Structure 1
């Protein structure tokens, strides 16, 4: 079954707008709402915890938080605390972060791929309740174990753009988050790169592929997508628009290409974010 959700964009919405958004999303039947952490805006884990506290059923995805900004032990503590408090409703995701921002923060890694491989491998071990001692290029721990272990660890997602990172997400993570602006065909290509990375690592099962898709509903929707993506964005399925049944049909195309979760992202200039969430709830019901 294809998962459907929406995005709360930290560029368009200040932190105080989150509560209204999650309450509308839950009431509208949106299955999941995804956030992310861009420098220097909303805190990732504070936002996730607040969103879960204000709701009862809504699942919250974090796609993504930048790996270089936090020690892996701290990230494991953050995720485990949220998971124990709100079990089964959190999808944590991590990525390289925007490299110029990482330099601004004094957290730039010379080899982001090495950092991701070390970090996510260790993070998943910690969340599984293991004691970890490791001396890597970037990640160093000495007999670290979570004192409040989890009954079941949440899936850890990783984000990637280039082919090497996409393959690495398949190697080390449970799922992958794709950037918006990709065509249906490009989502399929990236899903195959992720699967190839998983196969090369000898891992069983499939990685969950999360695709962000630029979306607009209602009057003027096509024009808003074209303004955001360029006219080509409306010609090669890089964005979707129309009424909920039109968007549901587009969601199925992305799912057929290899996306397990299609997360609708309001384009810049969305006139009514709460109406967008209500329409997303309708799309979720149509796709279900």
Structure 2
């Protein structure tokens, strides 16, 4: 089995003023990926990603996730394309339902979140691929829309998912799935691996869909490197391609997890 990629999460329990120090630590340690949340009503995901990309030299920055009820797909594609052109190969955007209570607070609730996610993801994907999009769906309406400056290569576009229908959709319309900590046990990852592969096969699109997993680890636990090595190993065996470690809400600083990844030999040489 191939070596799993690893990363850390900058949780929104930390204020944005702390981001620069975490980005610098991640870049210096050589961790492949740094991930950000976008939660109502905390920090903007793409704004924080722009800062993280500018402050670093090599780490890939993921945004998990961008709630689709909050953004028109044309605007989402414009923003993603700009970052992908400025920092080629270093952005991983994720689209998702968002928390339904929060989206209702801002007038974004819809009758079928799955339909919205499908229509939105397909439109963003096609716009980033440089296509002209004409869409007249239940929620997405685009009339001869095309990006003037699409990226030379579309960044991998993931879908954040929990339920089986959304996980399968991720394989069908996107490049893979992001599972949050609620789905990060090995059995859940195995189920997700199968559903994502099923969705990709049904779509007829080439390539293998990826499975990225957020895995919460308490950074205060004893023998942290061994705990991290075991967690990453079991998720790799279950089918994860990338395991992204995050601290707890009470201990959100991910820098101890960086040290644990290094001590466990899970960072690139």
CA distance in structure 2 between the partners assigned to 1:168 and 1:273 by the alignment = 31
Matched, 1:186 2:188: yes
CA contact (8 A) 2:246 2:252 kept: no
CA distance in structure 1 between the partners assigned to 2:263 and 2:130 by the alignment = 39
TM-score by length of 1: 0.87
Matched, 1:70 2:71: yes
Hey, what does 2:87 align to over in structure 1? Answer: 86
Hey, what does 1:257 align to over in structure 2? Answer: 238
CA contact (8 A) 2:245 2:257 kept: no
Hey, what does 1:27 align to over in structure 2? Answer: 28
Give the 5 Å matches for 1:93-104. 93-104=94-105
CA distance in structure 2 between the partners assigned to 1:64 and 1:55 by the alignment = 21
CA contact (8 A) 1:4 1:284 kept: no
Q: Secondary structure at the match of 1:93?
A: strand
Hey, what does 2:160 align to over in structure 1? Answer: 159
TM-score by length of 2: 0.93
Hey, what does 1:2 align to over in structure 2? Answer: 4
Q: CA deviation at 1:284?
A: 5.8
Q: Secondary structure at the match of 1:197?
A: helix
Q: CA deviation at 1:103?
A: 0.4
CA distance in structure 1 between the partners assigned to 2:47 and 2:205 by the alignment = 32
CA contact (8 A) 2:65 2:95 kept: yes
CA distance in structure 2 between the partners assigned to 1:139 and 1:271 by the alignment = 36
Task: Identify unmatched segments of 5+ residues in structure 1.
Answer: 223-241
1:279 to 242, 260, 266: 260
Q: Secondary structure at the match of 1:255?
A: helix
Hey, what does 1:200 align to over in structure 2? Answer: 202
Aligned residues: CA RMSD: 1.7
Query: Higher mean Cα deviation, 272-281 or 173-182?
Result: 272-281
CA contact (8 A) 1:179 1:212 kept: yes
CA distance in structure 2 between the partners assigned to 1:78 and 1:177 by the alignment = 20
CA distance in structure 2 between the partners assigned to 1:50 and 1:259 by the alignment = 28
Q: Secondary structure at the match of 2:217?
A: strand
Q: CA deviation at 1:282?
A: 4.1
Hey, what does 2:144 align to over in structure 1? Answer: 143
Task: Identify unmatched segments of 5+ residues in structure 2.
Answer: none
Relative to structure 1, the CA distance from residue 162 to residue 200 in structure 2 (aligned partners, 3 Å threshold; closer, same or farther) is same
The number of equivalent residue pairs is: 266
Q: CA deviation at 1:163?
A: 0.9
Q: Secondary structure at the match of 2:35?
A: strand
Hey, what does 1:229 align to over in structure 2? Answer: none
CA distance in structure 1 between the partners assigned to 2:178 and 2:71 by the alignment = 20
CA distance in structure 1 between the partners assigned to 2:252 and 2:161 by the alignment = 30
Q: CA deviation at 1:278?
A: 3.0
Hey, what does 2:249 align to over in structure 1? Answer: 268
Hey, what does 1:59 align to over in structure 2? Answer: 60
